[in-house]
Amino acid sequence: MEVMQVLHMNGGMGETSYANNSLLQRMVILMTKPITEAAITALFSAADTAFHASLAIADLGCSSGPNTLFAMSEIITIMINLCEATNSKLPEFQVFLNDLPGNDFNTIFSSLLPRFQEKLSEQMKGKYGASATLSCFFNGVPGSFYGRLFARESLHLIYSSYSLHWLSQIPRGLEGNKGNIYIARSSPPEVIRAYYEQFQRDFSTFLECRGQELVMGGFMVLTLMGRRSDDPSSKECCSIWELLAVALNQMVSEGLIEEEKLDSFNIPNYTPSPKEVQPEVQKQGSFSINCLEVSEVDWSKIDSDFDPNVVSEDGGYHLSRCIRAVAEPLVVHHFGEEIIDEVFKRCKAQLAARMSTENPTFVNVVISLKKVA
């Protein structure tokens, strides 16, 4: 599987779209806002990174949906408030929205962006009067962030939320991981090592590229799905893929999926611990670490906060839709469209069973970095 061609969230605005099933990601953006605000305040205050007339921001792994522009709205609002508090002139904003080529950029620019710009204009007029304007220029940048995307020293702030746990490729050497689609308790040591080493290569490449693209003193705020535990096979980071694997294995046992098909399906994902993130930053050498924190979101919050008008007879309904919005393109590419509804029906049942006996969480690793070399 060529990850760059296949990996993207469900596009459009339909029932199973990422745009309508990304509450978890929105929650994480809000949870990490204080860290983002601290980075922007430091950038604003630093004389050596004065951006004068314009501020260049990149959202890496922007996906498609309200969260794409929600994150940028939060950043722009922080800047507006800082300028107001210090009686400073607002810069022009140059915003770069990056994701892989399969991302639904059309929905962003044809449907979401016009409404966003209108709302931003109303916000400015409400704050500064009818004649107030805000210069904000948006650009789509398709391509992998595991390579150069921007000119040298052209960006002031890089933001990425829930993207960097996706790998550039399926690790090699996973042949012994039969019956699993990711790291699991039954995975042999060489499989766990293969995933970790792929993450090391990818994250190091990411840091090297961004180190070239950021101005000196520029900031990065990165949030990854991760784990607290030192064990890469711990429940806190592997449960979702484990439950999807259970659903797929059930279908193998019933003859609905070929066993060989399942054994050749692997998720290009790695959820690191802070202890795995920190040394990669230090080894690469371009950045100082301002903040490295871990937070959690209960699975039950996804269902309880999603839509009070939609009542589900059991747990896992909305969470299963969130997972489907993320994983469906990968599953369809490998197994075909015919089985997709049945796969996620069974996955929902597995989620509900787990949530009825446990209180599982998503773990987030957030790191704020400043370019120093």
- 157 residue type, one letter: L
Q: Name the stretches of the chain with pLDDT < 70.
A: 1-23, 46-52, 123-132, 237-238, 300-318
CA pair distance 97, 143, nearest whole angstrom: 10
Check residue 343 and give its pLDDT. 79
In 3-state terms the chain splits into helix, strand, coil percentages (rounded to 5) of 50, 20, 35
Where residue 89 falls (left for φ over 0; alpha for ψ -120 to 50; beta otherwise) is beta
For strands 136-142 and 54-60, give the pairing: unpaired
Amino acid 11: pLDDT: 54
DSSP-based three-state secondary structure for 166: strand
Dihedrals φ, ψ of 98, to 5°? Answer: -115, 140
pLDDT for 146: 92
Neighbours of 311 (CB within 10 A): 7
Lookup: tokens for 41? 């305040």
Give every CB contact of residue 141 below 8 A, 6+ residues apart in sequence.
Answer: 58, 96, 97, 98, 149, 150
Q: Cβ neighbours of residue 126 under 8 Å, at least 6 residues apart?
A: none
Pairing of strands 214-226, 361-371: antiparallel
Cα–Cα distances (Å) from 115 to 14, 22, 43, 46, 238, in that order, read 18, 19, 28, 33, 37
The SS3 call for residue 184 is coil
Question: In the prediction, which pLDDT does 308 show?
Answer: 44
Is 59 in contact with 96 (CB distance < 8 Å)? Answer: yes
Closest-CA residue to 22 (of 161, 130, 227, 173): 161
- Are 67 and 112 in contact, with CB atoms under 8 Å apart? no
DSSP-derived letter for residue 341 is: H
Structure tokens at 36: 């983002």
- The C-alpha atoms of residue 149 and residue 169 are separated, in whole angstroms, by 18
Residue 123 phi/psi, 5° resolution? -60, -45
Whether residue 232 contacts residue 192, with contact meaning beta carbons closer than 8 Å, is answered with yes
Which amino acid would we find at residue 24? L
Residue with tokens 């959690």: 296
pLDDT in the model for residue 312: 46
